[in-house]
Amino acid sequence: MSVSTQHTACQPDVSLVICTLDEAQSIGPLLRETSRALAGFDYEIIVVDDSSDDWTAAAVLAQAVVDPRVRLIRRRGARGLASAAIAGWDAAGGETLAIMDGDGQHDPARLPEMLRRLHEDDAEIVVCSRYLTRGPTGLGRRRDLGSRLATLATRLALGVPATDPMSGFFVMRRSWYDAVRVRLSGLGFKILADLMASGSRPPRTAEISAALRARSGGQSKLDSRVIADLAALLIEKRTGGLIPARFTLFACVGATGLAVHLAIFESLRLVTGGPFLIVQAMAILGAMTWNFFLNNALTFRDLRLTGPKLLRGLLAFYASCAGGALLSEAIGAATTRVGAPWVLASAAGAVSAALWNYWSTAGAVWKPRAAAGTAGSQAFDASSLAPAIATPIAEERSRRVA
């Protein structure tokens, strides 16, 4: 997803991006707290909202009425903190860029120190780290273990210069962002590791220590898909972009599809005893259907299809993968004719089909969506939009409480 850059008339020094997903309860108090913390700076706060309802947007616009430095970008159907952060930074006007979560776990009071360290240490990125000291991290036991393992894997794989490359709370110079922007994956929820591993050299980095606060809204985004996204990101960065993160996920889904194909084929053969071509066709159709829905949920979950688009996407996926199947047969046959072993010929066909299917389906099925637009970038926008959204929502909340 791309968002056109929109800078304010008087560009601020600091642009803070806050990414939200159904965090209406926490975002209003957090914006007020953040504004107080940044009172001594020329700043703007850009909230990139992926929520499915209007409650979070209403809370942001209500704050924008009293503070025109608060802006809102709404994305429809998009998911993923990394792509949301990039959308916010692309629209930002500051020479210093920052990010924090919208659930209240990050303490805005640490921002002045981070901004000071950025200049005093001549750093390019300053990270608020949970692991700089041996104190509490603010994470539960399971999340703490998962985060530490992810941190260890990232540091070993990429050698990033930070004790907490999984942190979602940091500031950086725009010059660093501009230098690495074209190489960012934008996949998943771990944008800091992506930023640190995408330069021609490691960034000059400083860290301050801070534990997470109790979450005041929203819920944890950590699940098995986040772990898969991180593993794919590490492969992309470790190979210098030769193997894109999405292709790694796509290939893993394809491997499970092969198992589904074999299971369907053997089951139908034993139960029906039907002709090979019919049984094979049913197995191929079943595997393709499996691959489509799993890719929609995992590989392209930030662009996932719903409603009527889901059926159209499935049909487009069938068509694209049919081309891959024909390519696989042609390359396999050609490789066999030159005397290659059948195993090598089969592998060459399979790899070619996987590449074809990835590039064709990514463009034909899961197309990047245009931005839903921005609001609240000026006081006029905020004052005109906020009451229209916030009033009915406040009334609905009152009715529910009553």
Tens-digit pLDDT profile for residues 77-90: 667 788 899 999 99
Q: Which two tokens stand for residue 284?
A: 């191929």
Asked if residue 72 belongs to a domain, the reply is: yes
Alpha-carbon gap, residue 354 to 348, rounded angstroms:
10
Q: How many CA atoms, within 13 angstroms, populate the side-chain half-sphere of residue 52?
A: 3
Range(s) of the domain holding residue 38: 14-242+372-401
In a domain, 8, yes or no: no
Q: What is the mean pLDDT of residues 312-331?
A: 81
Q: Which of 218, 220, 244, 242 is nearest to 232 (CA)?
A: 244
Do 270 and 387 belong to one domain?
no
pLDDT winner (highest mean) among 28-37, 205-214, 362-371 = 28-37
Q: Is 2 within the bounds of a domain?
A: no
Question: What average pLDDT does the segment 19-35 reach?
Answer: 93
**Amino acid in position 377:** S
Q: Residue 52's domain is classified under what CATH number?
A: 3.90.550.10
331 assigned to some structural domain = yes
* 302 and 225 within one domain: no
Question: How many domains are there within the chain?
Answer: 2
How does strand 170-173 pair with strand 125-129?
A: antiparallel
**CB atoms inside a 10 Å sphere around CB 119:** 11
Across 229-233, 246-250, 382-386, which has the greatest mean pLDDT? 246-250
Same domain, 337 and 383: no
pLDDT confidence bin for 33, thresholds 50/70/90:
very high
Residues 68, 149, single domain; the answer is yes
Do 150 and 201 lie in one domain? The reply is yes
Among 91-100, 110-119, 193-202, 351-360, which is the least confidently predicted range? 351-360
- Residue written as tokens 């021609």? 200
Write down the pLDDT at residue 346: 56
- Could you tell me if 161 and 219 lie in one domain? yes
- Mean pLDDT for all residues in the chain: 80
Residues 334 and 380 in one domain: no
* Residue 388 scores a pLDDT above 50: no
228 shares its domain with 186: yes
- Classified as helix, coil or strand, 280 is helix
Same domain? 235 vs 251: no
Cα torsion 304, 305, 311, 312 to 10°: value is -100
Quote the Cα angle for 269-317-369, to 5°. Answer: 155
Q: List Cα–Cα distances, 165 to 1, 21, 313, in angstroms.
A: 24, 22, 36
Measured on CA atoms in the order 138, 28, 172, 189, is the torsion positive or negative?
A: positive
